[in-house]
């Protein structure tokens, strides 16, 4: 008997958690307006796939992001699955006022996700604020959400590099993370906003983050801009991070790099993790059934690979006359 392999198969599979961000990080940059009913139906379909969280809306000024103008209508009409966290994002106090009003009207938001770039230049480019101004805004927004009973996730954008400044000092990133927690955030997301992270860097910084914030739920958010997205997920797992953002069909992109690939693709990521023996709680078939609808919804091709190639073990018919001479 092969004792070693028997022992291995008895080990419980490590549980990882997949957050779907395509409806927000993906749809927000689409030029064609996606109808509210389409978004609602799509979120309802995603709710049945086993993802842990769905970032469903953005409370941002409709002038800047027209595709997110219907945040309230989306949140009011989706069918909620009991084990899914429904989150929304906002860049400012005005957006938080809208989010709290939305929540109090009965269109519940489980978690608000607030963000700031750890790079000064990117924060200015993205939200027209210094990091000090963003932190001051958080100090107003966090109590608003808490008073309404909404949990808070704080995203540190450009954690692994800034398209204007290059590498960001790791101490600076971790120091901002400490400041987030001191302000009352419940959880942290380290985001590779423009796809500059590499696996070695991810593992090193995340080992440090996990050590420094052992009781904090940490999520990694990668973009596959330079093809290192899934390798970075493995690096994160090596550092004991178990929560990952991903985007259905690989939607998303970067406003500073037109044509750049989007977020890591949810179904490609789940396919890989399942092949590696991780438990994601996600039904890959259902996820793929949702992913194949995306090109129709957005009106263009998408980067997702497994939706085109099929799951790893989706075998093909042997060609005729293979063994005849
Ligand atoms: Zn992103």
Q: Assess if residue 30 is contained within a domain.
A: yes
162 belongs to the catalytic site: no
Taking the C-alpha atoms of residue 132 and residue 283, their distance in angstroms, rounded to an integer, is 42
In whole angstroms, what is the distance from residue 201 CA to residue 198 CA? 5
At 24, give phi and psi (nearest 5°): -100, -65
Catalytic-labelled residue, pool 102, 162, 254, 269: 254
**301 in any annotated domain:** yes
**Domain assignment present for 245:** yes
Average of pLDDT values for 48-56? 98
Domain-embedded: residue 250: yes
**How far are the Cα atoms of 45, 218, 281, 293 from residue 17, in angstroms, in the given order?**
18, 11, 7, 23
Cα 107 to ligand 1 centre (Å):
25
CA-nearest of 103, 81, 86 to 23 is: 86
d(CA 28, CA 22): 9
Q: What total number of domains does the chain contain? A: 1
Longest C-alpha distance within the chain, in Å? 77
Look-up of token digits 């409370």: 59
CATH number of the domain residue 261 falls in:
3.20.20.70
Helices then strands, counting H and E runs in the chain, come out as: 13, 8
Per-residue model confidence as pLDDT tens digits over 160-175: 999 999 999 999 999 9
pLDDT for 203-257, tens place per residue?
Answer: 999 999 999 999 999 999 999 999 999 999 999 999 999 999 999 999 987 665 6
What confidence tens digit (pLDDT) does each residue in 296-320 have?
A: 999 999 999 999 999 998 899 999 8
Residue 44 CA, ligand 1 centroid: distance in Å: 22
Whether 4 is covered by a domain: the verdict is no
CA of 108 to the centre of ligand 1 (A): 23
**Ligand 1 centroid to residue 145 C-alpha, Å:** 22
Q: How far is the CA of 191 from the centre of ligand 1 (A)?
A: 7
Distance 253 CA to ligand 1 centre (A): 8
Q: Domain range for residue 16? A: 11-323
* Ligand 1 (single-atom ion) residues, CB below 5 Å: 25
Residue 5 domain flag:
no
Cα-to-centroid distance, 222 and ligand 1 (Å): 7
Q: How many CA atoms lie within 13 A of 261 on its CB side?
A: 21
Q: Give the pLDDT band (50/70/90) at residue 6.
A: very low
Q: Is 214 helix (H, G, I), strand (E, B) or coil?
A: coil
Find the helix or strand (DSSP H, E) in which 154 lies. Answer: strand 151-157
Q: Which residues, 6 or more positions from 102, have their beta carbon under 8 angstroms from its beta carbon?
A: 59, 71, 72, 75, 76, 109
In the reported structure, the alpha carbon of residue 262 is separated from the centroid of ligand 1 by a whole-number distance in angstroms of 8
Q: Whole-angstrom Cα distance, residue 209 to residue 206? A: 5
Q: Is residue 1 part of a domain?
A: no
In this predicted structure, what is the pLDDT of residue 64? 85
The closest alpha carbon to 52, from 162, 137, 138, 153, belongs to 153
Residue 3 lies in a domain: no
User: How many CA atoms are closer than 13 Å to the CA of 307, on its beta-carbon side?
Assistant: 23
pLDDT in tens, 100-155: 999 999 999 999 999 999 999 999 998 999 999 999 999 999 999 999 999 999 99
Helix (H) or strand (E) holding 90: strand 85-90
- Reply yes or no on whether the pLDDT at 92 is more than 70: yes
Nearest CA to 265 among 281, 249, 288?
Answer: 249
Q: What is the pTM of this model?
A: 0.93
The average confidence (pLDDT) of the chain is: 93
């Amino acid at each position: 008997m092969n004792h070693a392999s028997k022992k291995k198969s008895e080990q419980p599979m490590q549980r990882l958690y997949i957050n779907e961000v395509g409806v927000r990080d993906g749809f927000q940059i689409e030029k064609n307006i996606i109808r509210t009913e389409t978004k609602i139906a799509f979120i309802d379909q995603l709710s049945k796939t086993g993802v842990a969280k769905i970032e469903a809306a953005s409370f941002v000024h409709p002038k800047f992001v027209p595709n997110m103008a219907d945040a309230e209508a989306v949140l009011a009409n989706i069918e909620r699955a009991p084990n899914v966290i429904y989150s929304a994002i906002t860049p400012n106090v005005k957006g938080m006022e809208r989010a709290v009003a939305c929540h109090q009207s009965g269109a519940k938001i489980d978690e608000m996700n607030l963000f700031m770039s750890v790079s000064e230049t990117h924060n200015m480019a993205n939200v027209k604020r210094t990091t000090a101004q963003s932190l001051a805004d958080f100090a107003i927004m966090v109590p608003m959400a808490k008073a309404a009973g909404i949990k808070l996730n704080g995203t540190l954008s450009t954690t692994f590099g800034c398209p204007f400044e290059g590498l960001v000092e790791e101490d600076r990133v971790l120091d901002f993370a400490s400041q987030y927690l001191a302000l009352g955030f419940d959880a942290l997301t380290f985001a590779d906003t423009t796809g500059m992270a590499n696996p070695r860097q991810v593992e090193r910084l995340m080992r440090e983050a996990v050590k420094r914030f052992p009781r904090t739920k940490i999520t990694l958010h990668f973009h596959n801009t330079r093809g290192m997205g899934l390798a970075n997920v493995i690096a994160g797992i090596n550092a004991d991070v178990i929560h990952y953002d991903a985007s259905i069909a690989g939607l998303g992109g970067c406003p500073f790099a037109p044509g750049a690939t989007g977020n890591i693709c949810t179904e490609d990521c789940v396919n890989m993790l399942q092949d590696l023996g991780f438990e994601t709680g996600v039904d890959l078939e259902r996820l793929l059934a949702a992913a194949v609808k995306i090109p129709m919804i957005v009106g263009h091709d998408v980067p997702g690979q497994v939706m085109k190639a099929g799951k790893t073990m989706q075998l093909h018919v042997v060609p005729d006359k293979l063994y005849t001479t």
